[in-house]
Amino acid sequence: ISTRTHIAGFNFDNCIMNAAGVYDYSAEELDAVQQSAAATFVTKSATLVPREGNPEPRYCNTPYGSINSMGLPNFGLAYYLDYVSAAQRQVPGKTYFVSLTGFNVEEDIALLRQVQASDFEGIVELNLSCPNVPGKPQTGYDFEAVTRILEAVFDLYRAPLGIKLPPYFDLVHFDQIAAILNRFPLAYVNSVNSIGNGLCVDAAAESVLIKPKQGFGGIGGAYLKPTALANVFAFRQRLNSSIQIIGTGGVQNGTDVFEHILCGADMVQVGTVLHQEGVAVFERLTRELKAVMAQKGYGGIDEFKGRLKTL
């Protein structure tokens, strides 16, 4: 049984990897993902200059998932390009993802120019959905901004590039954003980022759980699964077949990975469960996915990818 997949023409031995923002901040964490059963890694969303991020506590696990308001802490794009450059030399033939996020279209372009000037040979993921920078709306909810950014991006950049989107909740919004995305040579769409600006409460302490933004933060984990599956399925129905889909959100076991693929995901990413369990989760999820496939008689993911039945 094989869980092989491919994204943007690059082959991967597995279809499970980390989600941007989890286990990908430092070289130590990225080393651990590389040494695990993960297909590959994506780096923490990088900005032009390093950022400390928001004050702590800024991440909290809850009974059904997590809340975070990290505020984009990262070592700056140069750090991640250096790390990937070394990884490319160490493991020729393996492909890596670098996540980028600018605070406006000029910064996005400057980040992409920096990628172009490096020896990076992998896939860029442009994050259009950070929910946690005070005063900054999530780009993915501003369809005119998405259009302007993608026009500028593809004027400049022709190597493989995907985008990370926030969850959408209305079928009309899926129609509108998919019509925009279909105009561009995107390698993939990654759905979903955390559900922005949720609030988790500690009843005993009569308090919020995290310090930034009065406790509001991105919701991840099991809370997210139905929304994530809906976004994967809705995009698979609407996007050109040349645009692949990475499914992210609410994965806790191999059946959850199977469900994402059934809805149309070509690759599946894990955030909260990776934060909670560490990199051993990749071996567990892969084993559990293979068990589901074996029980159903599937030898590869293409045999069920996107084949969700409706009633």
Contact residues: ligand RRO, CB under 6 A: 21, 45, 68-72, 101, 127, 129-132, 193-194, 218
The least CB distance from residue 119 to ligand RRO, in Å, is 25
136 is in an annotated binding site: no
Q: Which is nearer to ligand RRO, 70 or 234 (CB)?
A: 70
Calculate the alpha carbon distances from 76 to 14, 31, 43 in Å: 28, 18, 11
In three-state secondary structure terms, 141 is helix
Q: What are phi and psi of 134, to 5 degrees?
A: -50, 130
Q: Are 84 and 96 in contact (CB under 8 A)?
A: yes
**Residues 15, 60, 130, 200: which is the catalytic one?**
130
Please calculate the CA angle 1-164-182 and round it to the nearest 5 degrees.
Answer: 90
Residue 217 tokens read as 């933060």
221 is in an annotated binding site: yes
The least CB distance from residue 68 to ligand RRO, in Å, is 5
Q: Which is nearer to ligand RRO, 5 or 45 (CB)?
A: 45
Q: Which is nearer to ligand RRO, 141 or 304 (CB)?
A: 141
Q: Which residue is nearest to ligand RRO (CB)?
A: 218
Separation between Cα atoms, residue 199 and residue 216, nearest integer Å: 5
Which residue type occupies 143? F
- Residue-wise DSSP of 74-121: B--HHHHHHHHHHHHHHSTT---EEEE--SSHHHHHHHHHHHHTTT--
72 is in an annotated binding site: yes
The least CB distance from residue 128 to ligand RRO, in Å, is 9
299 is in an annotated binding site: no
The least CB distance from residue 287 to ligand RRO, in Å, is 28
Q: Which is nearer to ligand RRO, 93 or 135 (CB)?
A: 135
Q: Which is nearer to ligand RRO, 37 or 232 (CB)?
A: 232
Which residue type occupies 27? A
Helices (H), the chain: 27-34, 77-90, 105-116, 143-156, 171-181, 225-238, 254-263, 272-277, 281-296
| Residue 130 is among the residues annotated as catalytic for this protein | yes
68 is in an annotated binding site: yes
Task: Say whether the peptide bond before residue 134 is cis (omega within 30 degrees of 0).
Answer: no
> Which DSSP helix (H) or strand (E) runs through 199?
strand 195-199
124 is in an annotated binding site: no
220 is in an annotated binding site: no
The least CB distance from residue 70 to ligand RRO, in Å, is 3
Backbone torsion region of residue 113, taken as left when φ is above 0, otherwise alpha when ψ lies between -120 and 50, otherwise beta: alpha
Residue list, annotated binding site for FMN:
44-45, 127, 164, 192, 221, 249-250, 271-272
Going by the annotation, the residues of the binding site are 44-45, 68-72, 127, 164, 192-194, 221, 249-250, 271-272
Tell me the catalytic residues.
Answer: 130
Binding site listing for substrate = 44, 68-72, 127, 193-194
